[in-house]
Structure 1
């Protein structure tokens, strides 16, 4: 099955966006966003470093009529972005697939159905997951304009950064992969 990355080469599907200091939008300051799709028509991603302390995964599945189990205890809920914040999205390893799964690349996928929540609760879900409420979205050309305006840096994504790095460390880890110490960046961009 072809993945989005194979269909749309030259775009940043499967990469992470890293917010530049002083970007001007408090919803995205200090964020790392995993891009699930990026095409000429627009882009969609999940913020992977903003944990929501006030809501738990067992609470969410319980509200949906799914019996919480010990498998639910380790899943943390994150702010995925400001679009459709009442809707859940599960970014996960590609070992789980169903009809509603979007394969991002060979190692990661996105599912936004109750089936994945049931699978997680039963212990049959993906090996690694991020449960996100909402997503970040851009219209045609919007993200490309923000990239040209130095709003975001980009870094290739992998399982370690997305799933295994502590939430609080993802921003500095992503910057470090680019050889950047975020404390040394200026909030002002310039052009020569």
Structure 2
């Protein structure tokens, strides 16, 4: 039995090595760019804090507006603090938060439980950190981004291992929207 296990392990290691060599040869053959990275349009929330773009500390100042009774909003605030953001946590009545959303012309179907302002953009709801960092690094010509509703598994909405797929939407002041990023589970 010991010899069988040893031979099996050697075969496994050899197989992994062959796959690595073949994969590298294939990538060279099809001519992938030198600094090729796979698409990040589908992510997991667990890796959402990582980004390769350097952002200066002053770019990570964010104002979060939430109602006093929202516990999941506190969870999102902790998520962004853990990922390097300097947070001004502002507790306001819902009517005052709605006024901030109107300033950016956030479509009503994109609303969530809390609103944030950063670098001239509105960030609505349980948006992963990677998307917020991408927004302020790329500086697209939009009014902001949003994760509408409160999908289970988004930052601040963790419930054990349960996760719902969700989209992060970009929106313009004229009401046009598009998908900014997608998370599939």
- TM-score class normalised by the smaller sequence: under 0.3
TM-score (norm 1): 0.26
Whose radius of gyration is greater, 1 or 2?
2
Q: Normalized per residue, which structure has more helix?
A: 2
TM-score (norm 2): 0.26
